[in-house]
Amino acid sequence: MQINAMAVNAPQTITTGQNFKGKRDNINAFINLDDRSIQQIAYLKTIKSVDDRRHRKLDKKLMAAVPVAAGIASAAFLKGKFFTNKGRLEKIMQFSGTTAKWFAAFGIIDLVFAAKNKVEQKSEKAQNFAKNNPLLSFAGAAALSFLAIAGAKKGFGKVLNKYGVKIVDKYDENITKALLKTGELLDNNKILNKIAKGKAKISKKIPSAIKEFGKTLLSWSPVLIGTGAVIHSIDHNKTKMRTFADNYNDLKTKQLNLARKRNVELSLQNDFFLTNPKNKEDLELLKDPKKGLEV
């Protein structure tokens, strides 16, 4: 049995067109279910058995960790000290800026793919194209995402040049004073200084080769986490599709077997009906109501 695609969203209700009153009614209704209803039941069984909700949450957490990792890596390798002696404020600003950029980029990508899914739900042509050309469909959405990110970056740059410069010129002195004061507070923070001293002591005991490996790992952390998230998502989707196919085939097999048994039952009932002499007379009468009444 060929399965074209798994439903994207789980259905809220399954309409069978029959009222379930007892075991026999349930069996009859199940036998009469159309293929779409069977797919819906199979999908509901699938997302429950593979714990789809937990895996989706894990995917979201991993993807959310990518911008944070990028921000940490960016701040860790920042060398400049503009407002403070220890560069703590600069690192916080670098972390915040980088993380915000990554989250904004991810948000744009989510919007593009959400729009893609919406179009496919409303357009049968778009849906068929995505089914028949999944890689091309994905590549198109990815390309559109990058174009949208580039456009957003360009637009933000124009807004910043137009209004940001005016704001900085107007409040330049106040902004500089606030940054210098904040930087000084961070430099003189006792807890941060203790952490820095402890870090320096531990760092002296670590071999340079391990330090370099740690730096490389940190610089590649966004890519590694993102790759891990994609691999996990693909693996889970493969498991979900395989489980869905098994559930669908199992339900179709049960439906077919029940239909055969019901046909056998009806056949036996018909045989019994025909063996009764009185029933035979009634059947003959139904075939020819005027038989025996001719004058």
Q: What is the pLDDT of residue 85?
A: 66
Picking from 16, 7, 17, the residue whose alpha carbon sits closest to that of residue 44 is 7
Q: What is the pLDDT of residue 8?
A: 40
| Residue numbers of the chain with a pLDDT score lower than 70 | 1-25, 80-85, 165, 168-172, 268-295
Tokens of residue 183, six digits:
């930087």
Give me the amino acid identity at 246: D
Give me the amino acid identity at 137: S
* Site of tokens 């009468």: 285
CA–CA dist 271, 129 (Å, integer)? 52
Tokens of residue 32, six digits:
């009469």
Query: How many C-alpha atoms does 26 have within 13 Å on its Cβ side?
Result: 3
Q: What is the pLDDT of residue 16?
A: 42
Which residues, including other chains, have CB under 8 Å from residue 38's CB and lie 6 or more apart? 248, 251, 252, 255
Q: Which helix (H) or strand (E) holds 140?
A: helix 134-159
Which tens digits make up the pLDDT trace of 1-40? 434 444 444 444 444 444 444 556 677 888 888 888 999 9
The C-alpha angle with vertex 174 and arms to 169 and 179, in degrees rounded to 5, equals: 110
Tokens of residue 36, six digits:
């779409």
CA–CA dist 31, 50 (Å, integer)? 26
Which tens digits make up the pLDDT trace of 241-275? 899 999 999 999 998 988 888 777 777 666 666 56
CA dihedral sign, ordered 126, 128, 134, 135: negative
Which residues, including other chains, have CB under 8 Å from residue 95's CB and lie 6 or more apart? 71, 72, 74, 75
